[in-house]
Amino acid sequence: MEINIPFFKSSITIMIPIYFAAMGGMFPALAGKLNIALEGLLLISAFSSLAVFYFSGSAAAAVLSAVITSTALAALHAFAVFKLRANLFISGLALNLFSSGLCIVLSDKIFNTKGVVYTKSAQDIFLLYVIFGIFLLIVSWIAVYKTPFGYRLRACEKNADTLVNLGIKPQFYQTTAILISGFFCGIGGSFLSLTLGAFVPGMSAGKGWISLAIIFLGGRRPAGILAAAFVFAVAESYSNYAQGFWSIPVDFILAFPYICTLLTLIAVSIFSKKSNWV
């Protein structure tokens, strides 16, 4: 069977930022503190990496900047939740709104535009993201299932009192998990802008929200998240190609991957409930 190389590359391109955001979001989800700020973290890191790459021309410095920026905002989110006792979801929503506004303000101050910022693209690093993504998949699996950190992290959700009785602070692991999500989103966000060679306001385009669905669609497991992200990316890539072939409204075609995700989530939910009944 002949492989459509452009279609396959398009699917991988769509998948990478979603995959990184979902992998990062898996850690706080396992700790019982779902991070809904993934959208904002992707967006702010996309801007940060583009700005650094614009002035330095260094892809490594751009990715590092994205990771630092995203992790710093994740730390701010954790501080608000654990130290200031802010509501987890309200703080996450606030961070999403803050990131969107901050990108526009900084773009106006630095580049004198509130619109698109262009620079040269870094297409040559595409393969590095793929390799690093596979590496982090393995590292994440080992960390979650083969280390004391992973055991304690997963215990935070339902056995936090047991950890406290053992002298272990669940908050430490939950905070660390949120920081990890910031690290992963930094990588995913840098991919968005560096490979495109531009920053577009709102360019995260719901990928952070889709990542939240991917986390649960993949069963909060590294391999499952990879598979779920790839399936969604293939569906979205197919919808892009299908616009010139299907004689139905474009809006319905563009909704195809989201409909597939929703139906799959419903199917997974039903299957999980039936499994519990047995």
CB 53 within 8 A of CB 223: no
Per-residue pLDDT reduced to its tens digit, 92-147? 999 999 999 999 999 999 999 888 898 887 767 889 999 999 999 999 999 999 99
Q: What percent of the chain lies above the pLDDT cut of 90? A: 64
Q: 5-204 has which fold?
A: ABC transporter involved in vitamin B12 uptake, BtuC (1.10.3470)
Long-range contacts of 64-67 (CB under 8 A, 24+ apart): 66/186, 66/187, 66/189, 66/190, 67/182, 67/183, 67/186, 67/187, 67/190
User: Whole-prediction pTM value?
Assistant: 0.89
| Residues whose CB falls within 8 Å of the CB of residue 185, separated by 6 or more in sequence, listed in order | 20, 21, 24, 38, 41, 42, 45, 70, 74, 208
Tokens matching residue 24? 């990062």
Q: How confident is the model at residue 248 (pLDDT cuts 50, 70, 90)?
A: low
- What is the C-alpha R_g of the chain? 19
Name the 3-class secondary structure at 268. helix
